[in-house]
C-alpha cells in the first residue's frame, strides 16, 4: 500500500494522508542550523549541535507519537483545527505534505479554509522560515483566528528532559511587538537567544505553556485556541512557549500570507544587552527584516532549489526505470548529504543527545557525498584523522563541537583505521588532490604532535599488521564493523556497555571481516605509495596483503563460506560447526570485494551460500540462524531478540556489499536484484509493512525470525545511504572515479539495453552513453570519447568548457 507518490520533476515526495505508518520526515538546513520536520509538522530544530543548542522541544517515544513541532491552529467560529492534522486531528477535506530538497510544505483544508505551511531554512541563515498561506475556498466571508505555537527547549536537550528542580525556575522570555524572545540562561553564561516573529501586528500572544494549554491539556486541546483568545501570558520559570494570535478576514477566494521566523542569534559578551535585562535585538531584527515579504521568501526558496540542483547535478542517470532514476538522481544522494550533516546525531530514532561522529561512520558517509562537496570532504578527512592515535588506532567517535576524541567510548575498534584509507582514497580519486597526503595532521588532536596524512594512512595499514592473532588474522579488539559482535566483552552485569566493557587488547579473538577489509582496502595504500615513488614501501605492503589473502583462505574459509571470526577462546564464529549464527554476511561481502577466493571458486560458493541461507524477500539477513539465547562470548549481538538488528535482522548497510561482491563475479542480474530489494523507491508499494519513509533507507528491516518480518526501523542516519549509492553508481552502473580519470566498468542485468549517465568530474562534464547490444552483464568492448577510441576503459580528465561525449559498448 502507498501513502503518497514521487513527484520526480519537482524532486518531492508527496504524502496524501497524515496517517502514514510512521511519521515520515524531512531535514531542513545546509550549514549550521538544522531541523527535522514530519509530515504532520512535528519535529524540532537546533543550532549546530542537537544536544547542546536545541531550540525547540520534542518528546521522543511519547504517546501519541510525534509530539512537539511547529503547529498552526485555525480557530473558525468555535471549531479549531491544524492543517498538518496533528495535533488536533480534526478531519480534513484535503491534506497533502510535500517533502522536497530542504523544504517541506504541508496543506490542510477544512470548512472552506485552505491553510498551507511552507517550512525551510534559507541558505546561510540561522533559522526556520514558516510561510503560512490562508485561502478562503468557500463562497462566503470568513473571519478566523490563526494561532502559532512552538515550545522552547532550554538549550541543553539532555538537561531539559532530566533536570526539573532547576528547569522549572529558569524559563525567561521577552516580548517586543510581534516578536517573542526566548532568553532562558541568557542572563548568565549563554551568549545566545532565539525568537519567534511574524511580519504583521498581532492580536495576542502567549509565552507560558500552562496558560496557553491548560495544565491538564495537551497540544490537541489548548485552552487559548479552544476559546479563540490568547491571554498575553508571560512565562516565568516553568515552560516557555511562543504563540501568536492573529485575526484574519478573508473574502471568498481571497488569500493571505504571513511569514513567521524561528531564529537563533549569538551576541558577544559586551553586546548582549540593550539595557539592564533587555536583550540586544539588533541581529534578530536584521534576520526578521530579510523576510518581510512573500517575494523575499520565494526568492530564498529558489536559491535553495538551485543549491540542490547544483549538488545533485554531479551524477544523473537517464534510464527507463523510473525507480532507479529517482534513487540515483535525487533521494539517495540527498540522504547522503543528510548523513554528512547529521552523522548519527538527530533523527526520529537517534535522540540527538548521544553518539558523536563515528570514525568508521564518517569515513563511510564520505564515500556517498564526496562528489557533491569535495572541499568539505577534505575538511572532514582531516578532522577525522586528527583523532587518530600514534599507534594507528583511533577514537571510535569524536564530538562535532570540539572535534576531540570521545574518551567515554575510547578506541579499540580494530576496523576503524582502515576506513580512513578508504575515505581518503575516495577523495583523491574524485578530486585528483594528492596534496592532501602531505597535509600535517595531529595525533589525538595534539597540535604539537603532527605527521602527514600519508603517515596516518601508513599507521592505519600497519595497525592491522601489528595486531594479528594466533592464526595470523587481525585481532578484533572491542568489535569490528559489527559493533555488536563483542568477542572480548564477557559482560554479565546489566548496565555495562557492550562497547566499552571487557579487554580490548585480547590477543586471541580475530576477525575474518577485517582480513577481508584489509585485502580490499590495502591496495589503495599500495597505490598511493607507488604514486609517491615509494616502491619499496609499496612492495612490502603488497606482501602483507598477499599473505593476508592466503591466511584468509587457509583459516578463514569454512568449506562453503567465509568464517566470521574466532572468539576469545579460539572457537569459530559463523561456521557450519555452530548451532546458531552459522553464516554471517559481512565477510562474504568484503572478502569477495577484495577478490579473495575468486580464482579458486570459493567466492562463488560464498555468495551462493548467502543466497541460500540468508536471503529473504525483503533483503539479506546479517546472519543465520539467530541467537536464541545470550552468549557471553559474543556480546550484544545475542542480546537482541531473533530477527532484530545485528541478530539476524536485514541490516541494510551490508546488503550492498553483497551486491558489489556479485559484480566482482560478473553476476549483474543478482547484483541488481539485491540492490532493488531494499532500495526505498522499490518498496514503496509495501509501505504498510515497511513503515518507514519510502524515499530513504532505514538501517534495519526485521529478519525472517522476527514477529514483524519486513518492518524497517532507524531510517535516515545510516551508512546504508553511502554504500548503496556507491554500489549502484560505481559497481553496478559502473562509473568509478579512478586516480587517472573515470573508469567505466558496468555490471548490469543482461536484459538491459543501456542507459546514459551525465557525470561531472573534476570540473568536466561527461555524457556517457552505455549500450548493451549483446546483452551481457559485464565487459566493455569499446569506449570512444568525442569520437576517438580509447585504449582502456579509463576516460581521461579532458579539457573543461564543453560536454564530452562518451560512447561505451558492452560486450
Ligand atoms: C546498536 C548497534 C550500533 C551501536 C552503536 C548498539 O547498541 O545495537 O546497532 O552499531 O549501538 O554504538
Ligand atoms: C551502526 C553503527 O553506527 C555502525 O558504526 C555499525 O557498523 C553498525 N551499526 C553495525 O553494528
Q: What is the 3-state secondary structure (H, E, C) of 372-425?
A: CCHHHHHHHHHHHHCCECCCCCECCEECCCCCCECCCCCCCECCHHHHHHHHHH
- Closest CA to ligand 2's atom 5: 361
Domain end call among 615, 648, 681: 648
Q: How far is the CA of 609 from the centre of ligand 2 (A)?
A: 24
**Considering the domain boundaries, does residue 683 fall inside one?**
no
| Contact in structure between 208 and 242 (CB atoms under 8 Å) | no
Query: What confidence tens digit (pLDDT) does each residue in 115-160 have?
Result: 999 999 999 999 999 999 999 999 999 999 999 999 999 999 999 9
Beta bridge partners of 145: 75, 247
- Closest CA to ligand 2's atom 10: 482
Q: How far is the CA of 392 from the centre of ligand 2 (A)?
A: 20
Domain end call among 439, 463, 487: 463
- Closest CA to ligand 1's atom 4: 483
| Contact in structure between 85 and 70 (CB atoms under 8 Å) | no
Q: Which ligand is nearest to the CA of 639?
A: 1
**Are residues 270 and 287 both part of a single domain?**
yes
Looking up cell 526539573 gives 164
**Considering the domain boundaries, does residue 696 fall inside one?**
no
**Are residues 446 and 578 both part of a single domain?**
no
Q: Which residues are catalytic?
A: 483
Least confident of 49-53, 201-205, 463-467: 49-53
Is residue 684's pLDDT more than 90? yes
Burial tier of 168 (Cβ tally within 10 Å: 0-12, 13-18, 19+): exposed
**Are residues 640 and 758 both part of a single domain?**
no
Q: How far is the CA of 483 from the centre of ligand 1 (A)?
A: 6
The rounded distance, in Å, linking the Cα atoms of 414 and 391 is: 12
Query: What confidence tens digit (pLDDT) does each residue in 574-606 have?
Result: 999 999 999 999 999 999 999 999 999 999 999
Please, what's the largest Cα pairwise distance for the chain? 86
**Considering the domain boundaries, does residue 414 fall inside one?**
yes
Q: Which ligand is nearest to the CA of 645?
A: 1
Tell which wins on pLDDT, 456 or 356. Answer: 456
Domain count, the chain: 4
Is residue 355's pLDDT more than 80? no
**Are residues 395 and 480 both part of a single domain?**
no
**Considering the domain boundaries, does residue 345 fall inside one?**
no
Query: Average pLDDT over the chain, rounded to whole?
Result: 97
Domain of residue 758: give its range: 733-810
* CATH code of the domain containing 203: 2.70.98.40
Show Cβ contacts of residue 1 under 8 Å, excluding neighbours closer than 6 positions: 685, 686, 687, 688
Show Cβ contacts of residue 63 under 8 Å, excluding neighbours closer than 6 positions: none
Domain end call among 254, 279, 310: 310
pLDDT for position 356: 78
Atom of ligand 1 nearest to the CA of 700: 9
**Considering the domain boundaries, does residue 654 fall inside one?**
no
Is residue 57's pLDDT more than 80? yes
Q: How far is the CA of 605 from the centre of ligand 2 (A)?
A: 27
| φ/ψ of residue 473, rounded to 5 | -90, 160
**Are residues 43 and 61 both part of a single domain?**
yes
What would the 3-class secondary structure string for 469-494 be?
Answer: CCCCCEECECCCCCCCCCCCCCCCCC
The rounded distance, in Å, linking the Cα atoms of 405 and 388 is: 8
Is residue 213's pLDDT more than 80? yes
**Are residues 175 and 130 both part of a single domain?**
yes
Predicted TM-score of the model (pTM) = 0.97
- Within 6 A (CB) of ligand 2 lie 344, 358, 360-361, 481-484, 646
**Are residues 174 and 209 both part of a single domain?**
yes
Q: Which three cell numbers mark 172? A: 525567561
pLDDT for position 750: 98
pLDDT for position 745: 98
**Are residues 482 and 590 both part of a single domain?**
yes
| Contact in structure between 427 and 385 (CB atoms under 8 Å) | no
**Are residues 21 and 82 both part of a single domain?**
yes
Query: What confidence tens digit (pLDDT) does each residue in 516-552 have?
Result: 999 999 999 999 999 999 999 999 999 999 999 999 9
For 479-544, give the DSSP string.
Answer: -SSSTT--TTT---STTS-TTTSS-TT-SS-EEHHHHHHHHHHHHHHHHHHHHTT-HHHHHHHHHH
CA 361 and chain centroid, separation: 10
**Considering the domain boundaries, does residue 327 fall inside one?**
no
pLDDT for position 16: 98
Residue 799's pLDDT band (cuts 50, 70, 90): confident
Is residue 802's pLDDT more than 90? no
| φ/ψ of residue 150, rounded to 5 | -135, 150
Is residue 751's pLDDT more than 80? yes
**Are residues 457 and 471 both part of a single domain?**
no
* CATH code of the domain containing 631: 1.50.10.10
Burial tier of 800 (Cβ tally within 10 Å: 0-12, 13-18, 19+): exposed
**Are residues 472 and 450 both part of a single domain?**
no
pLDDT for position 797: 94
pLDDT for position 399: 83
Report the candidate in 442, 343, 457, 306 with the shortest Cα–Cα distance to residue 383.
442
Counting every residue written for the chain, the total comes to: 811
**Considering the domain boundaries, does residue 346 fall inside one?**
no
**Considering the domain boundaries, does residue 340 fall inside one?**
no
| Contact in structure between 650 and 703 (CB atoms under 8 Å) | yes
pLDDT for position 400: 79
pLDDT for position 768: 98
**Are residues 176 and 93 both part of a single domain?**
yes
Residue 653's pLDDT band (cuts 50, 70, 90): very high
Query: What confidence tens digit (pLDDT) does each residue in 686-707 have?
Result: 999 999 999 999 999 999 999 9
- Closest CA to ligand 1's atom 10: 483
Mean pLDDT computed over 430-436: 98
Amino acid at each position: 500500500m502507498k501513502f503518497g507518490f514521487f513527484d520526480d520533476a519537482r524532486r518531492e515526495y508527496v504524502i496524501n494522508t497524515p496517517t502514514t505508518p510512521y511519521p515520515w520526515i524531512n531535514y531542513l538546513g545546509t550549514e549550521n542550523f538544522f531541523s527535522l520536520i514530519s509530515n504532520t509538522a512535528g519535529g524540532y530544530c537546533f543550532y549546530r549541535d542537537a544536544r547542546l543548542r536545541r531550540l525547540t522541544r520534542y518528546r521522543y517515544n511519547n504517546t501519541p507519537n510525534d509530539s512537539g513541532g511547529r503547529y498552526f491552529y485555525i480557530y473558525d467560529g468555535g471549531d479549531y483545527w491544524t492543517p498538518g492534522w496533528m495535533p488536533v486531528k480534526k478531519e480534513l477535506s484535503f491534506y497533502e505534505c510535500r517533502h522536497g530538497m530542504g523544504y517541506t510544505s504541508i496543506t490542510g483544508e477544512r470548512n472552506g479554509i485552505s491553510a498551507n505551511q511552507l517550512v525551510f531554512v534559507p541558505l546561510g541563515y540561522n533559522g526556520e522560515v514558516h510561510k503560512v498561506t490562508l485561502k478562503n475556498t468557500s463562497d462566503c466571508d470568513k473571519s478566523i483566528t490563526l494561532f502559532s505555537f512552538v515550545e522552547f527547549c532550554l538549550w541543553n536537550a539532555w538537561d531539559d528532559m532530566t533536570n526539573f528542580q532547576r528547569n522549572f525556575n529558569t524559563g525567561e522570555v521577552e516580548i517586543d511587538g510581534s516578536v517573542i524572545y526566548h532568553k532562558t540562561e541568557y542572563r548568565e553564561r549563554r551568549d545566545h537567544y532565539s525568537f519567534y516573529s511574524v511580519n504583521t501586528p498581532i492580536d495576542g500572544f502567549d509565552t507560558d505553556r500552562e496558560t496557553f494549554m491548560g495544565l491538564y491539556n495537551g497540544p490537541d486541546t489548548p485552552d487559548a485556541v479552544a476559546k479563540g483568545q490568547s491571554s498575553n501570558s508571560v512565562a516565568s520559570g516553568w515552560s516557555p512557549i511562543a504563540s501568536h494570535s492573529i485575526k484574519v478576514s478573508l473574502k471568498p477566494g481571497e488569500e493571505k500570507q504571513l511569514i513567521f521566523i524561528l531564529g537563533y542569534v549569538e551576541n558577544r559578551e559586551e553586546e548582549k544587552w540593550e539595557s539592564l535585562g533587555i536583550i540586544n535585538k539588533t541581529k534578530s531584527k536584521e534576520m526578521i527584516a530579510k523576510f518581510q515579504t512573500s517575494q523575499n521568501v520565494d526568492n530564498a526558496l529558489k536559491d535553495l532549489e538551485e543549491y540542490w540542483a547544483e549538488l545533485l547535478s554531479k551524477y544523473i542517470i537517464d534510464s527507463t526505470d523510473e525507480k532507479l532514476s529517482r534513487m540515483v538522481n535525487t533521494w539517495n544522494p540527498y540522504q547522503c548529504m543528510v548523513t554528512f550533516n547529521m552523522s548519527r546525531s538527530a533523527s526520529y530514532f537517534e535522540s540527538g543527545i548521544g553518539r558523536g561522529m563515528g570514525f568508521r561512520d564518517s569515513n563511510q558517509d564520505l564515500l556517498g557525498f564526496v562528489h557533491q562537496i569535495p572541499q568539505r570532504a577534505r575538511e572532514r578527512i582531516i578532522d577525522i584523522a586528527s583523532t587518530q592515535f600514534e599507534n594507528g588506532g583511533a577514537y571510535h567517535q569524536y564530538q562535532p563541537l570540539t572535534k576531540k576524541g570521545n574518551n567515554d567510548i575510547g578506541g579499540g575498534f580494530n576496523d576503524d583505521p582502515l576506513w580512513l584509507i578508504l575515505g581518503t582514497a575516495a577523495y583523491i580519486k574524485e578530486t585528483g588532490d594528492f596534496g592532501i597526503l602531505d597535509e600535517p595532521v595531529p595525533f589525538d588532536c595534539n597540535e604539537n604532535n603532527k605527521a602527514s596524512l600519508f603517515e596516518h594512512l601508513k599507521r592505519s595499514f600497519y595497525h592491522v599488521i601489528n595486531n594479528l592473532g594466533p592464526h595470523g588474522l587481525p585481532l578484533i579488539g572491542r568489535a569490528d564493523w559489527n559493533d555488536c559482535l563483542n568477542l572480548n566483552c564477557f559482560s554479565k552485569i546489566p548496565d555495562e556497555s557492550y562497547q566499552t566493557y571487557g579487554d580490548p587488547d585480547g590477543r586471541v579473538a580475530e576477525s575474518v571481516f577485517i582480513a577481508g577489509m584489509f585485502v580490499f582496502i590495502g591496495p589503495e595504500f599500495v597505490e598511493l605509495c607507488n604514486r609517491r615513488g615509494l616502491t619499496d614501501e609499496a612492495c612490502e605492503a603488497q606482501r602483507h596483503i598477499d599473505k593476508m589473502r592466503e591466511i584468509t583462505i587457509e583459516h578463514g574459509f569454512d568449506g562453503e563460506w567465509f568464517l566470521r571470526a574466532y572468539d576469545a577462546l579460539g572457537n569459530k564464529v559463523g561456521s557450519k560447526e555452530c548451532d546458531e549464527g552459522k553464516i554471517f554476511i559481512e565477510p562474504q561481502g568484503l572478502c569477495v570485494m577484495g577478490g579473495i577466493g575468486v580464482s579458486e571458486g570459493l567466492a562463488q560458493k560464498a555468495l551462493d551460500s548467502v543466497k541460500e541461507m540468508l536471503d529473504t524477500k525483503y533483503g539479506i539477513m546479517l546472519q543465520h540462524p539467530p541467537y536464541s539465547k545470550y552468549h557471553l562470548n559474543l556480546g550484544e549481538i545475542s542480546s537482541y531478540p531473533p530477527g532484530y538488528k545485528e541478530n539476524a535482522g536485514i541490516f541494510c548497510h551490508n546488503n550492498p556489499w553483497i551486491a558489489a561482491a556479485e559484480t566482482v563475479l560478473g553476476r549483474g542480474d543478482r547484483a541488481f536484484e539485491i540492490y532493488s530489494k531494499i532500495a526505498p523507491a522499490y518498496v514503496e508499494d509495501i509501505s504498510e509493512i515497511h513503515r518507514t519513509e519510502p524515499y530513504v533507507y532505514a538501517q534495519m528491516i526485521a529478519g525472517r525470525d522476527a514477529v514483524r518480518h519486513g518492518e524497517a526501523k532507524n531510517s535516515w542516519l545510516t551508512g546504508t545511504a553511502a554504500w548503496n549509492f556507491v554500489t549502484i553508481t560505481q559497481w553496478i552502473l559502473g562509473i568509478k572515479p579512478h586516480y587517472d580519470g573515470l573508469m567505466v566498468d558496468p555490471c548490469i542485468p543482461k536484459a538491459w539495453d543501456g542507459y546514459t549517465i551525465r557525470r561531472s568530474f573534476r570540473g568536466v562534464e561527461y555524457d556517457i552513453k552505455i549500450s548493451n547490444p549483446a546483452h551481457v552483464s559485464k565487459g566493455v568492448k569499446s569506449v570512444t570519447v568525442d569520437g576517438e577510441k580509447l585504449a582502456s576503459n579509463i576516460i581521461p580528465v579532458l579539457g573543461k568548457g564543453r560536454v564530452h561525449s562518451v560512447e561505451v559498448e558492452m560486450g
